[in-house]
Structure 1
Amino acid sequence: MNSIEVRQLEYFLAVHDHGGVTRAAKALHLSQPSLSQAIRSLERQLRTELFLRVGRGLVLSPAGQALVGPARQVVRSVERAQTAVLRVRELHAGQISVAAGAGLVADPLAPWLACFRRKYPDTVVRVEESESDDGVAELVRSGDCDLGLTAGSIICDELEQLLVSEQHVVLVSPPGTPRSVGPVPLERLAGVPMIAGDRRGQAWTDVERAMAARGAGATVVVEVARTSSTIPLVLAGVGSTFLTLRLAIEAQARGAVVQEITPAQVRRLRLLRRPGDRSIGVSAFTNVIHADAKRWVTALQQQQDLGLGLVAAGAVVDARIRDARTAATSRQARLAS
C-alpha cells in the first residue's frame, strides 16, 4: 500500500466536518470532482469505503469512523511541526551562540544582547567567553558558535571580519581624585596604583604598550579576572583602572572620577562569521549590532559637535538611552495590564 499523504487526510476530515463533498470543496477552494477523486484515491489505498451514501448525503462507514481520530492526530502533529519551524525561522524561538573575547561581554555585548532580546524575546542566546581573539575565531570556525566578537583583527582566511564599532578607553579613578585640566597624559600615571581587569585582554594590553612607549610602566596592585569587577575596587579607593567609555559612565554614576587619556586609546570591534552564513539568527543579530553601534557612535559624535568632551557626551547619550528604555518598559507594562 502506498503511503498516505497528510493532504489526503485533510480532505477526508473536511468532507466529514462539512457534511459532504460540495461544502468541503468550497471550504478547501477545490473543485468538487477533484475532491471526490482524492477521496476515492484514499479509499483505494486503504482498500475500504470511508463514506456511505444515505439519501443525498454521506455518512462515515465503520472504517471511516475508525480513521477520524488518528487522522486528526496526524494533521495536528504536522501543523505543530510547521509552526515550530516557522517560529525558529522568524526567530520567535530557537538559539544563537556568540563567542566573545575577554572583557567584551560587559561592554559592548551586554547592551547589544539587550537590544536583541527586546526584539526577539523567545530566542535563547548562548555566550562563550574566550581569553584570546584566536580562541574566539576557533569557536566560530569549528561551528561551536555562530558569531564571534573580538577587539582586534585576526589572521584567519576561513572567516569574514566585519568592523562594527569602536570603543574609547578612559581612566577611572576613586571618588575624590583631583581632575586634570584636559586629558590625562599616560606618562603621568607612572606610579599610580592601578587595578587590572582581565590583564590579558586587548584593552589592557594596548594601554600598557602605550604607557611603555612613553617611558611609563603601569603599577598594578590588584588583578581581577573580569573587567567589570574593577568598578567596586575603584569605588572603594583601591586604585584606578582603564575602562571602555560605557562602563566608565556607569562607574561615574556611582561616584568614580572618569577622565580622558592622551594619547587616546580606541579599540576596534570586529564581528566574525563563517563565509556564506546568512542564516536568520546570524543576520538578525548582525543587524541589531550594526544598528545599536551606529546609534551610539552617531549620538556621541552629535554631542561632541555641540562642544561636550568625550566623557560628558557619553554620559548624556547613556542617560537618554536609559530614559528611552524605561519609557518603553513602562509602555509595555501598561499594554500588558
Structure 2
Amino acid sequence: MSSIEVRQLEYFLAVHDHGGVTRAAKALHLSQPSLSQAIRSLERQLRTDLFLRVGRGLVLSPAGQALVGPARQVVRSLERAQAAVTRVRELHAGQVSIAAGAGLVADPLAPWLGRFRRKYPDTVVRVEESESDDGVAELVRSGDCDLGLTAGSIVCDELEQLLVSEQHVVLVAPPGTPRAAGPVPLEHLAGVPMIAGDRRGQAWTDVERAMAARGVAADVVVEVARTASTIPLVLAGVGSTFLTLRLAIEAQARGAVVQEIAPAQVRRLRLLRRPGDRSVGVSALSDVIHADARRWVAALQEEQDRGLGLVAAGAAVDARIRDARAARSAAA
C-alpha cells in the first residue's frame, strides 16, 4: 500500500466536517470531481469504503469513523510543526525592541539578551533606556518599543504588567574593607564615602529613602551617569556603592568587598507589553526573559537552601553559569 499523504487526510476530514463533497469542495476551493477522485484514491489505498451514501448525503462507514481521530492528530501535528518553523523563520533578520529603566541594561537585561542572541542570532535587538518607569511605559504604550522593563509597578491601564523576577541590592566596598559579621545596617553607613551610579534610578532612590527613614543620609562623593561605571571607582578606593547582586558579584571577582544590608532592599522587575501583542519577536523575547529569570531565582534559592548566604549563593550561581558557558564554547 502506498503512503497516505496529509492532504488526502485533510480532504477526508473536510468531507466529514462539511457533510458532503459539494460543500467540502467549495470550502477547499476545489472542483467537486477532483475532491471525489481524491477520496476514491484514499479508499483504494486503504482498501475500504470510508463513506456510505444515505439518501442524498454521505455518512461515515465504520472504517471512516475509525480514521477520524488519527487523521485529526496527523493534521494538527503538521500544523504545529509548520507554526514552529514559521516562528523561527520569521525571527531571522527580524527586529524586536525593548525599553529599560535606568540601571536595568547592565543587570538584568544584558544576560537575558545574551541568551536571546544565542538562540536567535539573526535577530536585531534595539534597546532604549529611560530615566523613569513612566518613560518606559510611554515608549511601549506609544508603540516605539515592543516591550518594557521596569523596577516597579506603574499606573497604566493600557499595558500588561508581568512580574518576572526580583533583584537584591547589596553594598559594594573597596578592596580591604573590613567585613561585617552579618548584614550591614544602613544607619552604620553615615559618613561612609559613597559613589552614586545613576542616582535617579530606582535602586538608589529606594536605598536613600531607606537610609533617610533611619535618620542618615548617603555621603555621596562621586556621581556617575551609569551604574556599571561605579565598579572601577570602588576598586580604586574612591568609595562604596550599592549594586544589584549580579553586578556586585562581578565586582567581588575583581577584589571588591560585597556585603548584604539591613533592612534588605529588593526590587521587583516587571515586563510591560501591549495587550494582545503576540508577535513572534515579542513572544520569543518574553519567553527567554521569563525562562532565564526563573532559572536564576531557582538556582539562587538552591544555593541558599544548602546554607550559603545571599552573596555567596550569588557567587556560586555565577560560577555555574560561567562553567556552563565555557563548556558550550569548548563543545562548539
- The TM-score range, normalised by the shorter chain, is 0.7 to 0.9
Cα deviation per residue 1:19-45 (whole Å; 9 max; x = unaligned)? 999999999999999899999999999
- C-alpha separation in 2, matches of 1:58 and 1:187: 84
- Counterpart residue number, 2:213: 213
Q: 1:63–1:286: structure 2 CA closer, same or farther, 3 Å change rule?
A: closer
Cα deviation per residue 1:217-260 (whole Å; 9 max; x = unaligned)? 00000000000000000000000000000000000000000000
Query: Structure 1 residue 93: deviation in Å?
Result: 2.5
3-state SS in 1 of match to 2:91? coil
Query: Structure 1 residue 63: deviation in Å?
Result: 50
Cα deviation per residue 1:161-219 (whole Å; 9 max; x = unaligned)? 00000000000000000000100000000110000000000000000000000011000
Aligned length: 330
Structure 1, 279-288 or 166-175: larger mean CA deviation: 279-288
Residues 87 and 93, structure 1, Cα contact 8 Å, conserved in 2:
no
Unaligned 5+ segments in structure 2 are: none
Residues 87 and 280, structure 2, Cα contact 8 Å, conserved in 1:
no
Structure 1 vs Structure 2 CA RMSD: 10.9
Query: Structure 1 residue 278: deviation in Å?
Result: 1.0
Q: 1:46–1:187: structure 2 CA closer, same or farther, 3 Å change rule?
A: closer
Query: Structure 1 residue 92: deviation in Å?
Result: 2.4
Residues 88 and 94, structure 1, Cα contact 8 Å, conserved in 2:
no
3-state SS in 2 of match to 1:67? helix
Q: 1:44–1:126: structure 2 CA closer, same or farther, 3 Å change rule?
A: farther
Which stretches of structure 1, 4 residues or more, deviate above 6 A after TM superposition? Answer: 1-85, 333-337
Q: 1:124–1:187: structure 2 CA closer, same or farther, 3 Å change rule?
A: same
Q: When the two structures are superposed, what TM-score results if normalisation uses the length of structure 2? A: 0.74
Structure 1, 214-223 or 76-85: larger mean CA deviation: 76-85
- C-alpha separation in 1, matches of 2:214 and 2:17: 84
Unaligned 5+ segments in structure 1 are: 326-332
Cα deviation per residue 1:131-168 (whole Å; 9 max; x = unaligned)? 00000000000000000000011000000000000000
3-state SS in 2 of match to 1:70? helix
- C-alpha separation in 2, matches of 1:224 and 1:274: 33
Structure 1, 67-76 or 174-183: larger mean CA deviation: 67-76
Q: 1:84–1:291: structure 2 CA closer, same or farther, 3 Å change rule?
A: closer
Residues 133 and 154, structure 1, Cα contact 8 Å, conserved in 2:
yes
Residues 172 and 234, structure 1, Cα contact 8 Å, conserved in 2:
yes
Query: Structure 1 residue 56: deviation in Å?
Result: 43
3-state SS in 2 of match to 1:297? helix
- Counterpart residue number, 1:59: 59
Q: 1:60–1:297: structure 2 CA closer, same or farther, 3 Å change rule?
A: closer
Cα deviation per residue 1:250-297 (whole Å; 9 max; x = unaligned)? 000000000000000000000000011111111111111111111111
Q: Percent identity?
A: 91
